[in-house]
């Protein structure tokens, strides 16, 4: 994003919004029925012809580093100084303003934004009892997904093993890639035993097998694991480039899973990509359960990159009351309807 030669005079507003899940969304951490988020809208009084741009500030309660009683005050203050918000150190606020300003001043046109191609994604299978999970797996396979990501760690481990073994008996690794996400459900004590149980299933990777904040334990697991380990929650928070490099080098995982809203915005995600590529570590991006506002911003950012593996952007159909958008799914890809319309957001309770 490049600001224009005329000095910008930016004004911003914000509002809260509650997204309603279509089903009981379960991870090893919590059961969710709603997801709180915030929107901002920004315009440049020096260039009114640009109109207004919307960004999402997707606070993730219980997970975001900035989840505290002062968050709305921080967001209101950021709206008073939008350019400073880009480097305010609050990850979700940085993400929201980066997204809005990229939209306001025009990010690069890509084949994806022109509707010429899609971005391949994995099929996300949420936790549930074993019968519900089996049904969800079948739905994703019938929809044409060749890469599944299964949430594990929330029901009995033997039931989860049974489901994974049944899928693998039916589909070889050449036919179906399986990623699993433990969301920190294993303990350092039982982790290696469970990873050894999972190894014969030829999994692509396991995300965050133990809770974040245990870098030495995680490094030891990454070094010994028979299943490639991906860092996810470990990356939450705003870090400098040096801090990002040091963390990645210290733990040395096989992959990074980047949630821009949680890991320092797009700038923070770029730092991690640089750190990963220095060490030959793979990466993919995923949403932090944003609405289509945030999901579109991540997809547009990815469309400017050379990506080689499916991304984690299959969350747009989770909500009853998502914001109508140009995003749609086609053949296990997320696509953009060129010229598609966004829903009217003027009626939301905007605050300055």
| Catalytic residue ranges | 151, 259
Residues 221 and 162: their CA atoms lie apart, in Å, by 24
Looking from the CA of 220 toward its CB, the CA atoms found within 13 Å total: 8
Over the Cα atoms of the chain, what is R_g? 20
Write out the two tokens for 235.
Answer: 């990356």
Write out the two tokens for 29.
Answer: 């951490």
**Burial of residue 156, with CB atoms counted within 10 A of its CB: 0-12 exposed, 13-18 middle, 19 or more buried:** exposed
Distances (CA, A) of 272 to 53, 200, 239, 241, 279: 27, 30, 9, 8, 11
How is residue 266 annotated by DSSP? H
How is residue 186 annotated by DSSP? B
98 CA to centre of own chain: 15
Q: Which of 134, 120, 232 is nearest to 183 (CA)?
A: 232
Write out the two tokens for 94.
Answer: 């940085």
In 299-321, which positions are buried (b, 16+ CB within 10 angstroms) versus exposed (e)? bbbbbeeeeeebbbbbbbebbee
**Cβ pair 98, 298 in contact under 8 A:** no
How is residue 95 annotated by DSSP? H
How is residue 27 annotated by DSSP? -
DSSP 276-323: HHHTT-EEEEB-SS--HHHHHHHHHHHHTS---S-BB---TTSBTTPP
């Amino acid at each position: 994003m490049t600001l224009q030669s005329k000095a910008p005079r930016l004004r911003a507003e914000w509002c809260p919004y509650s997204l309603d899940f279509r089903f009981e969304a379960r991870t090893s951490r919590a059961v969710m029925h709603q997801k709180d988020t915030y929107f901002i809208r920004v315009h440049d009084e020096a260039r009114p012809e640009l109109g207004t741009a919307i960004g999402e500030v997707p606070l993730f309660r219980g997970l975001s580093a900035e989840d505290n009683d002062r968050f709305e005050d921080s967001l209101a203050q950021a709206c008073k100084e939008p350019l400073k918000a880009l480097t305010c150190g609050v990850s979700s606020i940085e993400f929201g303003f980066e997204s809005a300003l990229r939209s306001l001043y025009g990010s690069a046109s890509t084949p994806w934004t022109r509707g010429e191609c899609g971005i391949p994604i994995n099929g996300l299978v949420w936790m549930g009892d074993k019968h519900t999970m089996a049904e969800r797996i079948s739905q994703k396979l019938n929809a044409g997904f060749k890469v599944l990501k299964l949430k594990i760690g929330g029901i009995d481990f033997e039931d989860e093993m049974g489901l994974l073994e049944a899928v693998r008996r039916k589909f070889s690794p050449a036919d179906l890639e399986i990623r699993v996400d433990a969301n920190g459900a294993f303990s350092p004590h039982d982790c290696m035993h469970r990873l050894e149980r999972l190894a014969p299933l030829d999994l692509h990777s396991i995300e965050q097998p133990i809770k974040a904040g245990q870098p030495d334990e995680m490094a030891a697991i990454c070094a010994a694991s028979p299943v490639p380990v991906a860092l996810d929650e470990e990356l939450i928070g705003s870090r400098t480039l040096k801090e990002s490099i040091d963390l990645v080098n210290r733990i040395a995982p096989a992959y990074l899973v980047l949630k821009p809203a949680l890991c320092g915005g797009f700038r923070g995600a770029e730092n991690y990509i640089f750190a990963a590529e220095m060490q030959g570590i793979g990466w993919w991006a995923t949403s932090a359960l944003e609405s289509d506002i945030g999901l579109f911003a991540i997809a547009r950012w990815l469309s400017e990159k050379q990506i080689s593996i499916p991304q984690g952007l299959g969350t747009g159909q989770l909500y009853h009351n998502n914001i109508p958008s140009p995003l749609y799914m086609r053949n296990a890809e997320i696509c953009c309807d060129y010229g598609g319309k966004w829903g009217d957001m003027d009626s939301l309770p905007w605050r300055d």
